[in-house]
Amino acid sequence: MAKYSIKTFGCQANIADSNSISGVLEALGYEELILPKFDTETEEFSFILNNADLFIVNTCSVRQKSEDKVYGMGKVIKMVKDETGKKPFMVLAGCMVGSVTGERQRWEFEKLHKKTPWVDLFINPHQIFELPVILQKQGVLNEAALAKFDPKNVNAKLDSPLHAFVNISYGCDNFCTYCVVPYARGKEISRGEEEILKEIKHRIGQGVKQITLCGQNVNSWGLGTTEKFEIRSGSDQKLPFADLLRKIHDIPELEKISFLSSNPFDFTQDLVDAVSLPKISNYIHIAIQSGNNEVLKRMNRRHTVEDFVAIVEKLKKVKPDLEIGTDIIVGFPGETREQFMDTVELFKKVYFAVAYIAMYSPRKGTPAEKFFTDDVSRDEKKYRHAYLTKFWKGLKKK
């Protein structure tokens, strides 16, 4: 059997996509290449390049460092090819490709192609289930294999026997000024309730007891474009997502329900009440990004620090042992040292069990890159990153 391997960079959405790609390939007759443990990524890539027939790199584009890792693979690929005279068929997938294709293209496909000459095929996140036809057109898959392929037989690979990621929506329409996701993943589209419930019940049949519902902003699932932008944090607005959570909670075989990701600006009381259900995870991830309202406004985040703190207080009332996770960007354009210290103050008010702290890096084609000057020096960003990280870890020890 032909061997495939997938290298995944990025968030849970990318992990879920890679699991779907695995399901498609295995329905086509491919077998996953089993990887031993390696000390370095170079060793890992070298093993894959020597042993796989098809190698898919599922990319992230949130930070420059993520993209640089992909570009850096070219050196290893050249080294292996020079030594062996061969390489697997290479597919570049994910957000880097999504950013240079589609209606919201933020930079030129030709530039990505030039930086990754080792790639044989580019697919964006919306083309996963088109992969069999694309591979056949590329001569990688024969017509007989394609004729046997039935999309109904595709089962996304499980990351563990008891847990499954379930996408409830794709894309994003929020356009936070720093973010590539609306470009990389396109317009926000909600999957139908019946389709979601059917997938969950199918997973239960495979032995799954725990699920994580995935979307760039799960709160807005099922809402119309105009409607979702009218909803405000802490309001009494009923959310289709809260109703969906209740219906999934009623499935007796399920033991635990998690969801990623939520934003503060449309986290209503209805969703707070749904979180109180016993099967809902005791961990909720809500990205605040900054502890200063002026910075949040420049980020085009539709919430304030006060909104966020109020949500956390409400959540703690309905589920006292709840743990909160968040995302933070330090060194956003225009952020002063004093504004940064407001974020430190927020960490004193709200204890975060998990905090992903990142230094701002301009992403080509985003409003922040186009209209703001990246005026916080790299040394200052490093200082703020180290200061906040040390402060947060100090809180964890108490």
DSSP 87: -
Average pLDDT for 200-210 = 96
Average pLDDT for 291-300 = 98
Burial class (CB in 10 A: 0-12, 13-18, 19+), 157: middle
Confidence of residue 351 (pLDDT cuts 50, 70, 90): very high
Share of the chain above pLDDT 90, in %: 89
Best CA proximity match to 47, nearest among 91, 92, 94, 7: 7
**Within the chain, what is the greatest distance between any pair of CA atoms?**
65
Contacts (Cβ under 8 Å, ≥6 apart) of 65: 361
Alpha-carbon distance of 179 to 395, in angstroms, equals: 29
Specify the pLDDT at position 153. Answer: 77
Residue where the block lists tokens 């690929």: 77
Are 252 and 279 spatial neighbours (Cβ–Cβ below 8 Å)? Answer: no
Average pLDDT for 270-281 = 98
257-269 pLDDT, tens digit each: 999 999 999 999 9
Please give the C-alpha separations between residue 133 and each of 87, 92, 137, 142, in angstroms, as whole numbers.
Answer: 22, 16, 6, 10
Average pLDDT for 174-196 = 96
Specify the pLDDT at position 159. Answer: 81
3-state secondary structure at position 371:
helix
Give the best-scoring range by mean pLDDT among 82-86, 158-162, 184-188.
Answer: 184-188
- Entry pTM: 0.92
Domain architecture of the chain: domains with CATH = 3-153 (3.40.50.12160), 163-397 (3.80.30.20)
Alpha-carbon distance of 232 to 7, in angstroms, equals: 38
35-63 pLDDT, tens digit each: 999 999 889 999 999 999 999 999 999 88
Average pLDDT for 169-193 = 96
Average pLDDT for 14-26 = 94
Specify the pLDDT at position 145. Answer: 87
